[in-house]
Amino acid sequence: MSKLLRYTIVLFALCQSAFAMTIPVHPVAKNGILDLRSAPFTNKIELNGEWLFYWRQLLAPGDKPAANPKLVNFPSLWNKWDKLNGEELPAYGYATYKLTILLPKSHGELRLSVPDVYSAYLLYVNNEPAAKNGKVSTTAENFAAHWQYKTFDIAKTTDTLRLVLQIANFVHSKGGITKPLYIGDKEVVRLDRQRDEAIDLLLTGCLIMGGLFFFGLYLFGNRDKAILLFSIYVIVYSYRIIGIDNYVLHTILPDLDWRITVRLEYITLFAGIGLFGLYSRYLYPVDVHKIVVNAISGICFLFAGAVLIFPPYYFTQLINPFLVLMIFCLVYIPYVYLLAYRRGRPGSIYSLSSSISLMIVFAISLFHYWGFIPQLQVVSFLGYVSFFFLQSLVLSHRVSFALKSAQNQAEQGLKVKTEFLSTMSHEIRTPLNSVVGMSHLLLKNNPRHDQREQLDVIIFSANNLLAIVNDILDYNKIEAGKISFEHIEMDVVAIARNVVNSLQVSAEDKGITLKLVTDEKVKSKVLSDPIRMSQVITNLVHNAIKFTPSGFVEVSIDVLEQSDSTIKLKVAVKDTGIGISKDKQALIFERFTQADSSTSRGFGGTGLGLAISKRILELQNSTLQVISEEGKGSVFYFIQTFDKAGESLPEKEFKNQLPKQGKPFAGIDILLVEDNPLNVIVAQTFLKRWGAAIDVAVNGQEALARLDLSKHKLILMDLHMPVMDGYQAARIMREKGIAIPIIALTANLPDEVRQDIAAAGIDDIVVKPFLPDELYSKVWHHIFK
């Protein structure tokens, strides 16, 4: 609130100082004579005071008046005077005002400015017509109204100015003049007007651009009605800056018909407030009283409608009841904003501050309208600018708030999707574990030839299913930005060799040659993520085999550049397969896209492999590229620069020391913690085959109870179990100082659980569905290391 207070004080201070500056002390006319012989013309001087007044006479200079003049206070509305000769003057009528101004014998160049009057005038200066607005006449038929600022110079030699001002009105509910005429140094008057025009034009430009901006935001954004109403309000209100008071628009377009401009002036006032009411309603729908706001806006639009239908004489009189409504709004709208602020609505501090600016602007225009203060254009300008600026902040805040919540929702949605997919994959992997495990077991039980073939099909299909689940999970993770890369020592050639070896069988099955060609210059190991590298090369080779009916697939690794610390490699997978047409080459890197929709039917696949590989490489500053010709084959390649690893140690291949046959785990007790009976059977069967003795616990709590350190050498621990999960069980064991090796059996991807596993003190992971070899080597490693 203190910010608000300071803001208000500053505005008031500005208001006061500007007010003081704009009220010059100057001579006043007496008996129709204004003596300016000793006046300085460095400031504009108002030609106010007692003027001679001839009612119902349009006197040209030299004309004999039909009656004696009255002395009236100038400027003022004749229909607001108490009485003239005992009669109250109507708004409609015509009259002549006269003033003689005495100037110094010699003076600089002077200029006189004439404002608009109600509603037409003709001014003579020293017998010559000097300025006019519309057409004065004694009858309504010959009369034409017009409002426009006029100014003219006064010859240096003139020491007396005889002003004869004819005013006529047959259209407005006011008659006479309310704004003063000014005289002053030519430059002062000119600059003064220029400043007024500049301020009005500047503000109008700002408002129109701001309004159009918000209109665009509404059209192309979230279709928020508050934004639409604000944009219309701003554009409508911009007319009031340029089309009233100084009538800058009329200076630019002097031929604009008065009947149109006067209507625009009133419509923009009435409709403007109505629009602002509606805008506030949509801005803070819960905080406004709907009936009140609807009533305010309704009356405003009704008034605006009346302007279109009725003649100016009638609709100009609506201003008084409208002022009452406006004063009510001046209290009610800030009250709504205060409520919104108290209730913590987003951006409401700005609405509240803006309503203070608006109150100041309206107060100034009201007091100015009542003639208590001058126009105070600079203060009004500042007030308007801060009002619109603060309201823009309210809306910007609103838009960004909406965007943020949409973003949160999207993030939430993504989270839910990721969780769903990871649960799904977990659920799919668990039964797959039994399928794969049991099939492997059956294979080892000397099946008949035809049974072996059927088992191969089962294992092949299960592995395919697993690959699809893994791909979806992987892509999901990449999309969610959850992928991280290791920066560890790896041997690119060894990785490529492993991939080639593992896919050799499928290549042979198709009758194609799969070979690896490596550059001899690749000597040292590099630092990168071996798992991801293997994933990318596997994907490419797998595709190459899949899409090559005959011929060969060649994996090549070439050194493009190398220094002491870095090496730039080109890894390419070339095939003599079906190739990809030019127009499809960019598409295949998109997710779920295949070059030909018949592909998935003919060759299988989800269309995710290349998208994943591409993203993995991009995240490591490399790009996956393709050169391909339909019917001839394709080359998929990427170029990546790696940091070289230091002097590399010979790889610890404990696998080589593994006994391949027999019962290496004879006499060893393993505690298997697993709640799924099928998984228990699978793991138990393998471990028993290798000679181990198995105790089974169905959850973490039971594991804690059954663990016998004098007997058990290793724990195989499922992670998700009822009562107590694997993490907690492991954590409790480690807290008790139990150092037995624990291997997690999980259906999650290793990346997903790696951190939690490490935190729980678990030593290793075997991912379900496990390959017997992997389980075997990991158990062996942890028992005999």
CA distance 30 to 593: 93
CA distance 182 to 32: 16
Nearest approach in angstroms of CB 423 to ligand ADP is 23
Given CA atoms 740, 744, 750, 754 in this order, what sign does their dihedral have? negative
CA distance 373 to 676: 88
CA distance 459 to 436: 6
Nearest approach in angstroms of CB 205 to ligand ADP is 54
Closer residue to ligand ADP in complex, CB, 28/635: 635
CA 511 centroid distance within chain: 56
Q: Binding residues for ligand ADP, per CB under 6 A?
A: 543-544, 547, 575, 577-580, 588, 594-596, 599, 605-611, 634
Closer residue to ligand ADP in complex, CB, 224/575: 575
Closer residue to ligand ADP in complex, CB, 607/741: 607
Nearest approach in angstroms of CB 483 to ligand ADP is 17
130 in helix, strand or coil? Answer: strand
Closer residue to ligand ADP in complex, CB, 436/608: 608
Closer residue to ligand ADP in complex, CB, 578/715: 578
DSSP annotation of 36 reads -
634 in helix, strand or coil? Answer: strand
50 in helix, strand or coil? Answer: strand
For every residue of 72-114, DSSP letters joined together read EEES-BGGGSS-BTTBPPPSSEEEEEEEEEE--SS---EEEEE
* Tokens standing for residue 413: 């949605």
Closer residue to ligand ADP in complex, CB, 268/628: 628
Both ends of the chain: CA-CA distance in Å? 69
Nearest approach in angstroms of CB 625 to ligand ADP is 12
CA distance 610 to 594: 10
Please state the φ and ψ torsions of residue 468, each to the nearest 5 degrees: -65, -45
Nearest approach in angstroms of CB 572 to ligand ADP is 12
Torsion on CA atoms 458, 461, 464, 470, rounded to nearest 10 = -70
Nearest approach in angstroms of CB 555 to ligand ADP is 12
In our burial notation (b when 16+ CB lie closer than 10 A, e otherwise), range 640-654 reads bbbebbeeeeeeeee
Residue with the shortest CB distance to ligand ADP:
605
Nearest approach in angstroms of CB 599 to ligand ADP is 4
Nearest approach in angstroms of CB 413 to ligand ADP is 25
Closer residue to ligand ADP in complex, CB, 26/591: 591
Closer residue to ligand ADP in complex, CB, 96/634: 634
Closer residue to ligand ADP in complex, CB, 204/543: 543
Nearest approach in angstroms of CB 553 to ligand ADP is 8
Closer residue to ligand ADP in complex, CB, 29/462: 462
CA distance 418 to 436: 25
Nearest approach in angstroms of CB 471 to ligand ADP is 7
**In this structure, are residues 643 and 671 in contact, taking their beta carbons and an 8 Å threshold?**
no
Residue 592: closest CA among 578, 612, 575: 612
DSSP annotation of 113 reads E
